[in-house]
Amino acid sequence: MAAFTLIELMFVLGLAATVGSIAVPRVAAAVDQYRAAGAARFVLSRLQHARVRAITDSRDTALRITHDARGFSLGLYQDGNHDGVLARDIQAGTDRLLGVVERLPEQFPGVDFGTLPAVAGVEGSAPPGTDPIRLGPADAVTFTPSGTASSGSLYVLGRGATQYVVRIYGETGRTRILRYNPRLRAWSAE
């Protein structure tokens, strides 16, 4: 019967610990990256859902981002009186909430709307600075029954300097995700 010596066993355990200490940070970084990418795809899916609802229901539909002490939240609202989705109509209950208000960190821990310091502007736009919601004064993307939208950018930040942006192109209502490479200071399609 073959047996292992204590020295052989210690060597194998030491080797396993060394390999594990190298692999764990890389796995954790990959999980953080996948989580941030998942959050960006989640935001994209909410935008696409708003566009489909606007077209099928023949009513302006908006994804509105609000900020409070707990952070950012997303809500999908539909125009109730044919004058667009407006803050005063939301408060009055005329423009109704479709579904529930959601927060990214609740589904994607460690991820929220945010920007890296000195991140470059995307596709020739001005750098976002500290404002990750670049949608104009209403902080909403409104889709029309013809499929067009208000233009803008939503910056999603994960742990470990993982930066994504969800772009909305107004004339077509199309959306796309880009990822930031801090070493190159450049955006690329995801």
Q: Quick: pLDDT tens for 144-178.
A: 999 999 999 999 999 888 999 999 999 999 999 99
Residue 29 lies in a domain: yes
149 in a structural domain: yes
Residue with tokens 């610990």: 17
What is the structure's pLDDT at 28?
A: 60
DSSP 8-state class, residue 173? T
Which residues, other chains included, contact 161 with Cβ-Cβ below 8 Å and sequence gap of 6+? Answer: 116, 182
Provide the number of structural domains found in the chain: 1
- The alpha helices in 58-117, defined as continuous H runs, are 87-92, 104-107
For residue 176, the domain's CATH number is 3.55.40.10
Is the residue at 47 inside a domain? yes
Query: In angstroms, what is the C-alpha Rg of the chain?
Result: 22
Sign of CA dihedral 12, 15, 19, 22: positive
The pTM of this model reads 0.85
Q: What is the pLDDT of residues 87-142, one digit of tens each?
A: 999 999 999 999 999 999 999 999 999 999 889 889 888 889 899 999 988 899 99
Three-class SS of residue 177? Answer: strand
Q: Which residues contact 137 (CB under 8 A, 6 or more apart)?
A: none
Q: Is residue 106 part of a domain?
A: yes
Token pair recorded at residue 112? 């929220």
State phi, psi for 98 to the nearest 5 degrees.
Answer: -100, 110
